[in-house]
A and B are shown apart, each in its own frame.
Chain A
Amino acid sequence: MADIDDHMDFEFEEPFKFSPAITKKKKKVIGLDDLLADYYEEKSKVVERESKRAKYKKQRCDSDDDLDVQDARQAKKFHEQVDEFQKDMGQISSDDDTLSWGLQVFGKQETLPPVLLEIDSCELLQSFQNHELNSLVELETEKGETFLEGLLTNGWLLKLAFILGQVENSVATWTFNLMLYSSKDVLSRSACDFWCGILLHKYEANHSSIKLKWVPSHSELKRALEVYGFQLDSPFKLSSDVDMVPTDSDSPGPPHNIRYWIKFVSVCFQVRSRWQILSSPEAEDLTYVIVTLFLDRVMLGLSVVLYECLVAATSYFKDDEWQASCHQIAKTLALRLPTDVNCLRIVESISGVDVRSKHLRSAVAFQFLVRCFDAKVLDAEEILRLLISINVKDKNCDLFKMYIYLNLAENWLLFDLLLKDKPVIREMWGLCLRNCSCQITSTDLRSFASKVRCKATYLLQGTSSK
């Protein structure tokens, strides 16, 4: 830091004179990005330097007792400048804050309900009590639950279910609850493996699948979410702050069981033809939940699991349902979540690798755009016309919003295979991009000006090269 200060002092020798030293450091095929970035960097330095200088002068002026009128005027001018620069700086530094996504998807977690096995109604254990072999196994009723836990964690229980071809009620509910509510990781993990194994198991054609005396349903899954503290079932309230809330206070959700919740849901999506666990509206609802989970920074490390689950979710729907369901999911997301940087995170977390996820990504981006304009219109050209009509030269134009719009529109158009090649759309999109890249000058100091410009220029290259 000291070095920079010295550097600044040296600069005082020549007040109000600087040259935007844009030098090409490296020869590049396309240097525009570098130029902009270099410029951007330069700009923030300049602002810093100027404001520092202004402060310095201000101090000097204040300390000077015999100010004449001219000096006073000058001082006033400096004050104004200081304010302006400080405003600029505030904007620049706030770029970072506004760009970091993150919602607290999980609020306060309820205490996990205790998981108990009804030993008396557990046939598996009861019938063994009088078995001749019990002299070797020495199984006592009181220790029945511990014994069954051993069977579960060591993988026996699943094999037994395959061989017997059924799972009795008490065992089914017990394992399901262990998966969702046990605080012991090994138990909930094994219970999850057990359930996924059962649901995914395929028998020969002449056999029916395993008989389950009890099958979990959507409401049990939702109930678990509630216990974990999930709070996005209604439109997001701004009162609970966008940024991370320090979580050192009482138990913040979710518990570790959320991993198994996600995995189980993922399997439910996959076994639609064998087990009707979810109806299609329920699947839409759970897909919505899965997407929102990407927004919580606490879930960052589970992104691989979430990603797989989202793939399973999109392939759940039948071809004739997909169109409507995709629309519904996108709409729910746009309605309930804020249209800030978080909606970009949402769009980017949908992979776009296969056809359906491309479709979903485009639909979600479109719905967010519609929501941004608060428009009743659902027509593509209408939206683009609105985008083009935004005057980026206007001082009051909110460039941060423009940045969001550009990103959303990019995703909407790029991932929609039909729209992408429509000549009208392409032309309008091109116009919109040119507006942003040409009308914002490289010396524009407004926050997000250079981000919008860079983005538009980058995208413009993409459209023109095709």
Chain B
Amino acid sequence: MERRKRVKTEGGNQNNKNNNNNNYRYTGAGGGVGMEENTLAILDTSSSASFHHLLDDRLAFLEAVRSASLVPENATPPTKKMLEAVFQILKDEDSLNLIMASYQLLSELNKRHPRVCLPKKEKSEASSPSKVLYELIVVEEAWSPFGFSENDEFTSTSSGGSISPSDFHSLIEDIAKRSSERRCKTIETKSLRNMLLFQYLVNVLEGDLVPRIHAFKETLNWILLRECILSKILGSRKVSYKDLVKDCLSIMGDLSHDEPQFTHDQGTNGTFSVVLQKDCHAALELALPEVKKSACIALKKLLQMIMELDSSRNTADKSGLITRADGARLPAAEIILNELAYDSDLLFSFFLLFDEPVWKLKAIIQYFQKYIPKSSVRTRRSNGSSNDATFDGILKCLSNENSAKGIIKKMRPDVLQLLLAHAFQAFLSLSSKHSVEGASDCMQEVEGSSLKEICENIVSAFARLRKEDKQCTILPFSREALFMAATILSNEVTGACS
């Protein structure tokens, strides 16, 4: 299928603007250029002014960009220089006010003026062939916080304040370092800023990837995905992809721990700059848990996107679209599961956070398949997947005395328990969602097993565990799972009576 790329009309304007940039001295007060000059001038004058003027000017600049590019109904996106200046503020400022304002502005701009998008569906068009609908619109000229040059190779040093793949990785490393450090030390603006920056970048990656995935599913055009920013980052020679995934996991573990309340530490005031005293560190204290939570969500999003990319790649591979140029990459799920196998704390917090039920169940089933004896009886299904590829199949294996013994010998008991309980949790989410979303989202892993059966099998699987290993203690999380299963079962009984 041929590659479709169309430049949006707005993109055309943008292009013109960029051309105009070179000879703006000539154009005078022409639309976009005049705006760029005027708004950037707000920043320019402040070189020697006092601190407060700097702060005021920057806020005024952000407000000016906002009212030019977000408020009018047919607003044009800001020019590259303007966006660069806004991004610079998010990256470098120490004032909470400026950090929040620039973050908010960038996120809104990202939503309002996406760089990649699918054409808007018109109601009347919905019935027409999908070819028209999945024509991807890429505004190549639009600014992106990620920096890379024409030949798909990122520039080695970050130029113009943009983020290179290695910058992205070191940002993640930095968050990982700080999140484990700060538990004893004082609150810092820098870590808040980094987490916001990370969130913004993940949102940009998402905005870039999601429409491409949609288009790929329709057209099977692999080039669309190969060109996405995320795949360029993962494929960059400057970044160790495996380390990146591992760092993501370690942040996840650190951030999801419940921290003790921050105490007002008077001694730390001295290190705070004037801004912070003004913005008051109570504000930071209030904001940090919130920002951390959203950083966790962004992290989850990032991992999910990598997995999504992996599975699309798999599809493309089956259709023979992958060439040697694409390089080889281990699927993220495998790296993650390998990491989790050695750390049950991490495993627990990972699956608690990684709560998207379909992915969660898939990952756990994949994990179990390594340990389920291959000799176990397989009932071939129409689509060729074996029985142990379903949650029910795994539970049945565990209820069976012989196969259970084999699994228990190979797996650590705590890991086994946690995985079972987490899979059960994912199953419950799916089964309560199931009635809403209809059959379309019904995945094979849940297929053919009722809630009642699964609850019964969970109970018998745990009973088997206990029987096989008398010493084994039932973990709190497993106790909760059992409580759930029992309550649901007894409810079904009383529900049937009434």
Binding site for B on A (CB under 8 A): 26-30, 33-34, 37-38, 41, 96, 99-100, 124, 127-128, 131, 133, 136-139, 147, 150-151, 154-156, 159-160, 162-164, 183-186, 189, 202-204, 207, 244, 247-248, 252, 254, 256, 258-259, 297-305, 307, 348, 351-353, 358, 414-415, 458, 461, 465
Contacts and interface: CB of A to CB of B under 8 A. Distances in A.
A65 to B, nearest CB: 41
B482 A258 contact: no
5 contacts: A29-B24, A30-B41, A244-B278, A298-B280, A302-B287
A299 B283 contact: yes
Given A127-B490, A131-B490, A163-B451, A30 B37 contact: yes
B217 interface: no
Contacts of B50: 96
Contact of A164 (B192, B291, B491): B491
A186 B482 CA distance: 23
B5 interface: no
Given A38-B45, A301-B192, A353-B71, A133 B486 contact: yes
B480 interface: yes
Interface stretch (B133-141, B324-332, B374-382, B458-466): B458-466
Contacts of B210: none
Given A155-B355, A301-B288, A353-B70, A160 B33 contact: no
Given A29-B38, A303-B100, A461-B38, 18 more contacts: A28-B37, A28-B41, A33-B45, A96-B56, A136-B462, A136-B466, A137-B479, A163-B488, A164-B488, A185-B261, A189-B293, A207-B435, A298-B283, A301-B192, A358-B71, A458-B38, A461-B29, A465-B29
B286 A302 contact: yes
B184 interface: no
Which secondary structure dominates where chain B touches chain A?
helix
A305 B294 CA distance: 11
A297 B284 contact: no
B interface residue count range (under 10 / 10 to 19 / 20 to 34 / 35 or more): 35 or more
A351 B69 CA distance: 12
A297 B37 contact: no
Interface string B226-248: 00000000000000000000000
B63 A348 contact: yes
A254 B294 CA distance: 21
Contact of A301 (B34, B96, B352): B96
B92 interface: no
Interface string B135-172: 00000000000000000000000000000000000000
Interface string B273-298: 00000111011111111110110000
Given A137-B486, A303-B100, A99 B56 contact: yes
A305 B293 CA distance: 12
Q: Which 6 A-B pairs have the closest CB atoms?
A: A301-B287, A37-B45, A96-B52, A186-B258, A162-B432, A133-B486
Interface of B: 24-25, 27-29, 33-34, 37-38, 41-42, 44-45, 48-50, 52-53, 56, 63, 67, 70-71, 96-97, 100-101, 103-104, 108, 112, 192, 258-259, 261, 264, 266, 278-280, 282-291, 293-294, 352, 355, 425, 428-429, 431-432, 435-436, 451, 459, 462-463, 466, 474, 476-477, 479-488, 490-491
Contact of B486 (A26, A128, A189, A303): A128
B498 to A, nearest CB: 13
Contact of B352 (A100, A155, A247): A155
Contacts of A259: 286, 289-290
Nearest to B57: A37
A298 B286 contact: yes
Contacts of B45: 33-34, 37-38, 41
B56 A159 contact: no
B259 A301 contact: no
Nearest to B355: A155
Contacts of A207: 435
Among B25, B44, B278, B280, chain A packs the most CB atoms within 10 A around the CB of B280
Contact of A258 (B100, B259, B286, B488): B286
Contacts of B486: 128, 131, 133, 137
A359 to B, nearest CB: 13
A340 B480 CA distance: 55
Contacts of A139: 479, 483
A238 B101 CA distance: 28
Contacts of A162: 432
A304 B286 contact: no
Contacts of B483: 128, 133, 137, 139, 147, 151, 156
Nearest to A183: B261
A353 B107 CA distance: 13
Contacts of A128: 483, 486-487
A183 B101 CA distance: 29
Nearest to A124: B487
Contacts of B38: 29-30, 33, 458, 461
A454 B355 CA distance: 53
A100 B52 contact: yes
Contacts of A138: 474, 479
A229 to B, nearest CB: 12
Among B288, B293, B486, chain A packs the most CB atoms within 10 A around the CB of B486
Contacts of A131: 486, 490
Contacts of A244: 278, 280
A133 B482 contact: yes
B282 A154 contact: no
B258 A303 contact: no
Among A29, A207, A305, A351, chain B packs the most CB atoms within 10 A around the CB of A29
B462 A151 contact: no
Contacts of B429: 159
B157 to A, nearest CB: 27
B29 A29 contact: yes
B46 to A, nearest CB: 8
Contacts of A300: 96-97, 100, 279, 283, 287
A147 B481 CA distance: 12
A128 to B, nearest CB: 7
Contacts of A299: 283, 286
A185 B285 CA distance: 12
B266 A248 contact: yes
Contacts of A352: 67, 70-71
B432 A163 contact: yes
B368 to A, nearest CB: 21
Contacts of A30: 29, 34, 37-38, 41
A300 B288 CA distance: 11
A96 B52 CA distance: 6
Contacts of A458: 38
A159 B258 contact: no
B348 to A, nearest CB: 9
B280 A156 contact: no
Given A29-B28, A151-B480, A304 B104 contact: yes
A124 B486 CA distance: 11
A242 to B, nearest CB: 14
A155 B69 CA distance: 41
Nearest to B75: A353
Contacts of A183: 261
B34 A155 contact: no
Nearest to B474: A136
Nearest to B49: A41
Given A136-B466, A137-B483, A256-B286, A204 B488 contact: no
Nearest to B264: A248
Contacts of A303: 100-101, 104
Contacts of A465: 29
Contacts of A461: 29, 38
A136 B42 contact: no
Contacts of A99: 52, 56
